[in-house]
Structure 1
Amino acid sequence: MITTTKPADVEILILGAGWTSTFLIPLLKKQNISFGATSTTGRDGTFKFKFEHDECDEAKKQYRDLPAAKTVLITFPLKGKGESSHLVKSYSQAHGGEESKFQFIQLGSTGIFTIPGQDTWVTRHSKYDTSNARAIAEDELISLGGCVLNLSGLWGGARQPKHWLDRVADTKEKLASKQSLHMVHGLDVARSIIAVHERFGKAAGQRWMLTDLIVYDWWALILGFAGELQEEDPTSNREHTQIKWVGEVMVEQNVKALPRSMEQLGRCYDTREFWTTFELMPIRARI
Structure 2
Amino acid sequence: MVTVMRKGPTEVDILILGAGWSSTFLIPLLLKEHITYAATTTTGRDGTLKFKFECDAKNLEEYESLPAAKTVLITFPLKGKHQSFCLYKTYTETHNHCNIPFHFIQLGSTGIFTIPGQDLWVTRHSKYDVSNARAIAEDEMLQLGGCVLNLSGLWGGTRQPQNWVDRVAPTKDMLKEKASLHLIHGYDVARAVIGVHQKFHLAIGQRFLLTDLVVHDWWAMILGYAKDNEENENMTHSRIKWIGELMDEHQVRALPRSMEQLGRCYDSRDFWATFGMMPVRTYTVG
Settle same-fold status: TM greater than 0.5.
yes
Cα RMSD (Å): 1.7
Residues 34-87 of structure 1, C-alpha deviations (whole Å, 9 max, x = no match)? 00000000000000000001241x2x1111010110000000011111110110
* Aligned mate of 2:273, from 260, 271, 276: 276
- Tell me the distance in 2 between the aligned counterparts of 1:63 and 1:14: 13
Distance 1:220 1:8, change over 3 A: same
* Alignment match, 1:35: 37
Alpha-carbon offset, residue 170 of structure 1: 1.2
Within the alignment, does 1:53 sit opposite 2:55 as a pair?
Answer: yes
Which residues in structure 2 correspond to 1:44-83 (within 5 Å)? Answer: 44-56=46-58, 58=59, 60-83=60-83
- Tell me the distance in 1 between the aligned counterparts of 2:268 and 2:274: 11
Count of aligned positions:
281
- Tell me the distance in 2 between the aligned counterparts of 1:199 and 1:31: 15
- Tell me the distance in 1 between the aligned counterparts of 2:80 and 2:236: 46
* Alignment match, 1:20: 22
Superposition TM-score, scaled by structure 1 size: 0.94
Please tell me the residue identity of whatever aligns with 2:51: F
My pick for the range that moved more, 164-173 or 67-76, is 164-173
* Alignment match, 1:177: 177
Identity of aligned residues (%): 65
* Alignment match, 1:264: 261
Residues 127-158 of structure 1, C-alpha deviations (whole Å, 9 max, x = no match)? 00000010000000100000000000000000
Query: Runs in 1 of length 4+ with deviation above 4 angstroms?
Result: 2-6, 97-100
Indicate if the aligned counterparts of 2:4 and 2:61 stay in contact, CA closer than 8 A: no
Please tell me the residue identity of whatever aligns with 2:252: V
* Alignment match, 1:104: 104
- Tell me the distance in 1 between the aligned counterparts of 2:207 and 2:100: 18
- Tell me the distance in 2 between the aligned counterparts of 1:3 and 1:255: 68
Which residues in structure 2 correspond to 1:194-273 (within 5 Å)? Answer: 194-229=194-229, 232-233=230-231, 236-238=233-235, 240-273=237-270
| Structure 1 residues without counterparts, runs of 5 or longer | none
Superposition TM-score, scaled by structure 2 size: 0.95
- Tell me the distance in 2 between the aligned counterparts of 1:240 and 1:141: 47
Alpha-carbon offset, residue 165 of structure 1: 1.5
Alpha-carbon offset, residue 228 of structure 1: 2.2
* Alignment match, 2:135: 135
- Tell me the distance in 1 between the aligned counterparts of 2:249 and 2:145: 50
Distance 1:214 1:269, change over 3 A: same
Alpha-carbon offset, residue 168 of structure 1: 1.5
Q: Secondary structure at the residue paired with 1:12?
A: strand
Residues 82-117 of structure 1, C-alpha deviations (whole Å, 9 max, x = no match)? 110110010001111689920000000000000000
Name whichever structure is richer in helix by fraction: 1
Please tell me the residue identity of whatever aligns with 2:50: K
Indicate if the aligned counterparts of 2:15 and 2:38 stay in contact, CA closer than 8 A: yes
Alpha-carbon offset, residue 8 of structure 1: 2.2
- Tell me the distance in 1 between the aligned counterparts of 2:21 and 2:243: 32
Indicate if the aligned counterparts of 1:12 and 1:73 stay in contact, CA closer than 8 A: yes
Distance 1:239 1:37, change over 3 A: closer
Distance 1:269 1:261, change over 3 A: same
Please tell me the residue identity of whatever aligns with 2:271: F
| Structure 2 residues without counterparts, runs of 5 or longer | none
Residues 246-273 of structure 1, C-alpha deviations (whole Å, 9 max, x = no match)? 1010001110000000000010000001
Please tell me the residue identity of whatever aligns with 2:12: V
Indicate if the aligned counterparts of 1:227 and 1:243 stay in contact, CA closer than 8 A: no
* Alignment match, 2:90: 90
- Tell me the distance in 2 between the aligned counterparts of 1:115 and 1:100: 40
